[in-house]
Structure 1
């Protein structure tokens, strides 16, 4: 079996004719861009996200069997899933699961826990203050910021509607 030659970007860059260079570059991009199946990715995300939710439901039933009421069992479930996601992130396993399951691992609360823990693990070499402290919310920070802001805006909107008598 003959080796396939990977296209070289250096040949594309050295081309003098701009139109030919652009065409060659577009062809190069098509050759090196990996192909993904949207249906396959959706199925994997559905299965992995479903498994995470089933595990969560299992924890709820387990905590209820220990005597916790439904609300307390849900709280314990959330704490347990966040802990497991952070543990798997620290061990380097959550990234492998996320690479396979895609959005199925990002949507549940475990994805948010991973988005907080992953930068902490990545930047721990830079120290507690300038590494972990400065970088821990690089991914989750915007989510928290816009979550709080949108909640405030909707609360204000609700308050105004209530004062006017619409709600």
Structure 2
């Protein structure tokens, strides 16, 4: 059995051969690309508010739908994967990352047909996120209702 000093020496030796992680550079790339995606979303929102008869609340739906559509198209063309390799989590955190996950799962199984391929496997990666979101919304809504009822009584 190896002693503690042998384990420590092994860890020191193995560190020489492990690649150095560029944490600051990767963080900066994720910040910039994520910020760009959010800036694009804000620009689209301002565009809809300026040229269409939407309130701020109403403009969020078309803004999100446009971002989801753009991410799905970029995924289909193979561009979003390159962006994800460059930006890391910066491209995954916004709603575009969710769209990319759904679209890439659908594209992977398109050869199996529309129903059993795309329809059955589209939510393979994102199903847990949707389930958690629905459950969380239910719990928050129920809690809000109960608090409101307690305050009124």
CA contact 1:120–1:131 (8 Å) conserved in 2: yes
Cα shift at 1:50: 0.8
CA-to-partner distance for each residue in 1:78-107, whole Å, 9 max, x for gaps?
121111000001111101101111111111
Scaled by the length of structure 2, the TM-score of the pair is 0.80
Question: Bigger CA drift: 27-36 or 42-51?
Answer: 27-36
Q: Which runs of 5+ in 1 are unaligned?
A: 1-17
Q: Tell me the equivalent position of 1:57.
A: 42
State which of 65, 82, 101 in structure 2 corresponds to 1:96: 82
Q: Tell me the equivalent position of 1:79.
A: 65
In structure 2, how many angstroms separate the alpha carbons of the residues matched to 1:28 and 1:93?
39
Cα shift at 1:69: 2.7
Q: Which runs of 5+ in 2 are unaligned?
A: none
Work out which structure has the larger RCO, using CA pairs closer than 8 Å and 6 or more positions apart in sequence: 2
Q: Tell me the equivalent position of 1:113.
A: 99
State which of 142, 149, 154 in structure 1 corresponds to 2:128: 142
Q: How many residues align?
A: 149
Q: Tell me the equivalent position of 1:7.
A: none
Q: Tell me the equivalent position of 2:31.
A: 46
Q: Which has the larger radius of gyration?
A: 1
